[in-house]
Structure 1
Amino acid sequence: MYLAPHANRWYRLAFWLAVLTIAYNLLEGLVSVWFGLADESLTLFGFGLDSFIEMISGIGILAMVLRIWRYPGAPKGRFEKTALQITGTGFYGLVGILSTMALYNLATQHKPETTLAGVIIAAISISLMWALIHYKTQAGVALGSEAILADAKCARVCMYMSGLLLASSLIYAVSGIWFADSLGALGLAYLSFTEGREAFAKANGAECGCHGE
């Protein structure tokens, strides 16, 4: 199908934004899990696991961009649906892990060694997520693509998670309140549940409803 140079330019941007999302989530996941374990910060550790799940979701988004670029109006392919189903399952699994560990930490009054890494990682993540949302929205508007716009809206949940990590890490760093990290992990569990629900909804053909929208 012939596409005007203007449309090709925006689809190319959407493609590279999806690639950047995958690469960044892989790096963010590795760094966050490493420091989460080293600092005994459950919120940062959970944030890292979430990043790996977001990476799988990003692969599904990349497949979506390629599909609507090459075959506008075509239904979701099996690969795209499978990526979304794996993502949804991963998020629900993360809910169980974070909830169980957070309740255990609350019962034992466990606190992290430090949350400085969480503050730095969250600040970087918020900045990048804001940029991704901005440019994905621009691409979606320029192409008139509801799918790309839905992806931009759903990316806001990732920014909410980064904000939650920043808040819990800052609170502990400044005040030393021992349960701040555990509460942050429970907050991540809640947002993970909403993301899991949205992933299964999109796998079944629904557009992203996006928590908070």
Structure 2
Amino acid sequence: MTATGKYYRIAFGLAVFTIIYNILEGLISTYLGFEDESLALFGFGADSFIEVISGLGIAHMIVRIQRRPDSNRDNFEQTALRITGFAFYALVVALVATSLYNIWTGHKPLATFWGVVISIISILVMWALVMGKRKIGKELDSAPILADANCTLVCVYMSIILLVSSGIYELWGIGYIDSIGTLALSYFAFHEGKECFEKANSEKYCGCE
């Protein structure tokens, strides 16, 4: 196996790991978020499921560029991007509406302990993935893989938001902070959805800025 082939294999492995991790994170976060009535944790988990769809497109992209380095984005990738974009927008509408309702009614989560735990784990895992993807992207001189690394970095930011909102509630019991954290997650989800549509309609590989 050539060095290039080895790096593409690692890149594909990172993409598959990202998919599997997001599935597990989504299942655990939505369940615990529902049980603890923490909208921020539940929304974080729902975002993880959407990232799975995006991850499938990334894995497919890596296989494509390995086989045909100069090829353009194909129908599978464009469809995955559009589905992901619609899903992010739908999530934003649901989270914003529920957040505002919770603020209006004064709803408080039962606990946010698991939000703290899950966010810390997510920060560590996602940061390791960012570093791994950046290293492989530089070795292959691949703009698409480097762009994916930047998108994974957005997941780190969202994890930090979950950590801050969950931690503040655990320490001081400020009820509306869970909803404020959810609105912040919605902001990033909106921009991720926007970027998905931009990617689907062009051949550029945005950096999820």
Q: Could you tell me how far 1:209 is from its partner in structure 2?
A: 3.5
TM-score by length of 2: 0.98
Q: Secondary structure at the match of 2:206?
A: coil
In the other structure, the counterpart of 1:46 is 43
Q: Number of matched residues?
A: 208
Determine if the alignment matches structure 1 residue 139 to structure 2 residue 140: no
* Structure 2: distance between partners of 1:154 and 1:122: 17
* Structure 2: distance between partners of 1:148 and 1:30: 26
Determine which of 32, 35, 42 is the counterpart of 2:32.
Answer: 35
In the other structure, the counterpart of 2:148 is 151
* Structure 2: distance between partners of 1:60 and 1:29: 18
* Structure 2: distance between partners of 1:8 and 1:140: 13
Per mean C-alpha deviation after superposition, the further-off stretch among 109-118 and 196-205 is 196-205
In the other structure, the counterpart of 1:200 is 197
In the other structure, the counterpart of 1:93 is 90
In the other structure, the counterpart of 1:6 is 3
Q: How does 1:12-91 map to 2 (within 5 A)?
A: 12-91=9-88
Structure 1, gaps ≥5 residues long:
none
User: CA offsets per residue over residues 107-160 of structure 1, 9 Å max, x none?
Assistant: 000010000010000000000000000010000000010110011011111111
- Amino acid in structure 1 at the alignment position of 2:201: N
Q: How does 1:153-172 map to 2 (within 5 A)?
A: 153-172=150-169
Q: Secondary structure at the match of 1:112?
A: coil
Determine which of 175, 182, 190 is the counterpart of 1:178.
Answer: 175
Q: Secondary structure at the match of 1:207?
A: coil
User: CA offsets per residue over residues 85-111 of structure 1, 9 Å max, x none?
Assistant: 000000000110000000000000001
RMSD of the TM alignment (CA)? 0.8
* Structure 2: distance between partners of 1:174 and 1:70: 52
Contact 2:148 2:207 in 1 (8 A): no
Contact 1:201 1:207 in 2 (8 A): no
User: After TM superposition, where is structure 1 displaced by more than 6 Å over at least 4 residues in a row?
Assistant: none
Aligned residues with identical type, % of pairs: 54
TM-score by length of 1: 0.96
In the other structure, the counterpart of 1:125 is 122
Q: Secondary structure at the match of 1:208?
A: coil
